Amino acid sequence: MSKFEDDFIENLIFYRTQKGMSQLELSGICDCAKSTIGGIESKKNYPSFELILKIAYALEIHPADLFLRNASQNREDVRKFFDEELSPTMKDMIEKRFPLSEREEQD
C-alpha cells in the first residue's frame, strides 16, 4: 500500500467521522453498498474515480482533500494572500519603478 493510499483512507475516515456520518450513511449518499465503503476503509477495495467524486460530494469537501487533508483550504489561503496582500504590493512596486508620464496620466 502506498503513502497516497494510506493518506486517502485516513482522510476518508477523518472527514466521515468529522461529519458524524456512518459508513452506511455515506454509502447511501454515494449510491453504493456499505461493504464498498467498509472495504475501502479496511484497505481491501479501491474506489473508482467516480466514487471518489461521490464521496467528496457527500462529505462536502474538495476531492483533493481526500488525498491531502485541507488541500483546498490551503489553496484558498494562497489566493486570499495574493488578492489581499501580494497583488496590491506588486502594483505599488510597478508604479514606483515605471511611473506614468504626465501624458499617460491625462489619458
Residues with Cβ < 8 Å from 7, sequence gap 6 or more? 67, 68, 69
Burial of 25 (0-12, 13-18, 19+ CB in 10 A): middle
Provide the residue type at 40 as one letter. I
Please, what is the average pLDDT of the chain? 86
Lowest mean pLDDT across 5-14, 34-43, 95-104: 95-104
pTM of this prediction? 0.66
CA 99 to chain CA centroid, nearest Å: 40
CA 39 to chain CA centroid, nearest Å: 24
Segment 39-61 shows an average pLDDT of 96
Domain covering 3-66, topology: 434 Repressor (Amino-terminal Domain) (1.10.260)
Domain boundaries, the chain: 3-66, 71-106
Segment 4-18 shows an average pLDDT of 94
